[in-house]
Amino acid sequence: MASALIVLAAGLGTRMKSDLPKVLHEVGGLPLFAHAIASGTALEPERTVLVVGHGAEAVGKAAEGLDPAPALAVQGERLGTAHAVAQARAALEGFEGDAFVLYGDTPFISPETLERMAEARAAGHAVVVLGFKAADPGRYGRLVMSGDSLERIVEFKDALPEERAITLCNSGVVAADATTLFDLIDAVGNDNAAGEYYLTDIVAIARSRGLSATAVTCDEAETLGVDTRERLAEAEAIFQARARAEALDIGVTMQAPETVFFAHDTVIGRDVVIEPNVVFGPGVTVESGARIRAFSHLEGCHVGARAVIGPYARLRPGAELGNDTRVGNFVEIKNAILGDGAKANHLTYIGDAEVGARTNIGAGTVTCNYDGVFKYRTVIGEDAFIGSDTMLVAPVTLGDRAMTASGSVITKDIPAGGLGLGRAVQETKEGLGARIMDKLRARKAAKSKG
Ligand code: UD1
C-alpha cells in the first residue's frame, strides 16, 4: 500500500520562549521536524507534506535541505489539528493510498510503531490511531474503546469525569486512506470547548458511518512532544542515551559514554575508542580502530582507520584525515586533507590545505589562508617536514620532501626536496647575556636597599 506523510508543524511553540519556531530546535544536531520525517521514512512514503504556519519561511527553508525535500502546505490561521491536516489536501492531489499524520515536535515515534499501524490498516480498519498508556494522563485526549474498536476520542477539556479516568491516551498520530481522511475531516466542526477543528473527531464520524477504527499502542517514551526547553533537554538526553547504546553495541569503546555526545548521523567504525568528553557535530565518520582522545570536537569530517585525534583537537567541516594520521592537542583542521600517516601533533591551524602522506607538521604551524577578504590554499607534498612555528602564507605550494626552517614565514613555493628558510639571520654577542643579567640584578638590589 502506498503511503504519504502529513507532518504538522504550524504550532506557535509559545512555551519554548524562543525566536526560533519550535520545530527548528534541534536534537542530535537535527531539527525536530526532520526527526519526525525520518521516522516516517520506514513507510517509504511517496509524498511528504509539511504543514507550516508560525515561522513558515524559516521552517520551509530548513525543509529544503532535506533529501527528498517535503512539499509545504501553509496553514494561515491555526484553527485546530483537523484544519491543519486539511491544508495538505492540495499537495496530496492524485495520491492514492494511506496518509499518516505525524507531528513536527514529536521526534521519537519508531518506524516499527508506524509499521504496526500500517498492518492494522491492511487488516481493514479505516482509521488507526496511535495510543499509549500515560503515567500521568493530564490533558491528553482519551481513547474510548469498546473491545478492539475505537469508538471516539474525547479531548480533556470536553471530557466527563468518567472519561477523564481513562488512561489510554491519544498520541495524535493517525493513519487512514487519504481520500477517506479528507472526507472525514470535511465533516469535522468546531463546536467544542476550544472552538477548534479537532482531528480527533474523525473517529466518531467514521464510526457513525459504519467504518471501523482501532488503536495501536506504543511506549509512552515514543510520544514525547517537545514544547518546552525542559522537554527539549529531555529529548536530547533520550537521543544521546540511544546513540551511546548503539555505539557500544557495534563495538565502540567508551570509558565514560555519558560524557560523549553524538549527532543524528554520526558513523563510528568497529574498535574505535572514544575517550571522555568528546562532542560529535553533524556529518562525522570515524573509521575502524581510530582513537578520539579526550575533549575533542569534531564536525563535518572524516577520520581514517587507526588515526589518533586529540586530546583537545578540533576537526571542522571538510577535514579529511587519512589512515594512521595523528592530530594532537590544540590542533584545528578545516577544509583540509591529511594524507595517510601525516602528523600535526601540537598547536597548529591547517585550513584550506592539502598535506601529503607521511608529512610532519611542526608545532605552532599556521596555514595563513585568509587575507581578510579571500581564502587561499596551501598544498604540501608527501614526506615533507614543516619546521615548528612556520607561517605558510597561502597560496603556496611545497613539493614532496620539502622542508621549512623553524620560525619561517613562507611566502614562495618550495620545489620538491627544497628547504625554505624565511626568518631574520641570528647575531650572537659573546658574554652580552651574562652582562645584561648582572646589570639588571644590581639595579634590583640597589632599589630594594634604597
Ligand atoms: C492533540 C490531540 C490530543 C492528543 C495530543 C497529543 C487534537 C484535537 N488533540 O492535542 O488528543 O492527546 O495532541 O499531544 O488533535 N497544530 C497545527 N495547527 C493547528 C493546531 C495544531 O499545526 O491548527 C500542530 C501543533 O503544532 C502541534 C500539534 O499539531 O504540534 C498538536 O496540536 P495541539 O493544539 O498542541 O494539540 P494538543 O492540545 O496537544
- What the chain holds in terms of domains, given with CATH numbers, is 3-223 (3.90.550.10), 229-420 (2.160.10.10)
Please answer whether residues 215 and 150 qualify as being in contact, where contact means their C-beta atoms are separated by less than 8 angstroms.
yes
Q: Locate the ligand 1 atom nearest the alpha carbon of residue 12 and give its number.
A: 26
Residue 106 has pLDDT above 80, yes or no: yes
Residue 450: pLDDT band (50, 70, 90) is confident
SS3 321: strand
> Can you tell me the distance from the alpha carbon of 86 to that of 77, in angstroms, rounded to the nearest whole number?
12
Which amino acid, residue 377? R
Catalytic residues: 346
- Express each pLDDT in 198-232 by its tens digit: 999 999 999 999 999 999 999 999 999 999 999 99
Q: Which mutation among 5, 33, 81 tests ligand 1's pocket best, with the greatest number of atoms within 8 A of CB?
A: 81
- Express each pLDDT in 343-395 by its tens digit: 999 999 999 999 999 999 999 999 999 999 999 999 999 999 999 999 999 99
Nine cell digits for residue 183 = 472526507
* Ligand 1 center from residue 309 Cα (angstroms): 46
Neighbour-count burial of 164, counting CB atoms closer than 10 A to its CB (0-12 exposed, 13-18 middle, 19+ buried): middle
* Closest residue CA from atom 21 of ligand 1: 81
Say what the pTM is: 0.94
Neighbouring CB atoms inside 10 A of 170's CB total 25
* Ligand 1 center from residue 173 Cα (angstroms): 10
* Ligand 1 center from residue 172 Cα (angstroms): 7
* Ligand 1 center from residue 216 Cα (angstroms): 19
* Closest residue CA from atom 36 of ligand 1: 81
Residue 161 has pLDDT above 80, yes or no: yes
Give residue ranges with CB within 6 A of ligand 1.
8, 10-11, 51, 53, 75, 78-81, 83-84, 103, 105, 140-141, 153, 155, 169-172, 198-200, 225
Q: Locate the ligand 1 atom nearest the alpha carbon of residue 53 and give its number.
A: 22
Residue 1: pLDDT band (50, 70, 90) is confident
Residue 12: pLDDT band (50, 70, 90) is confident
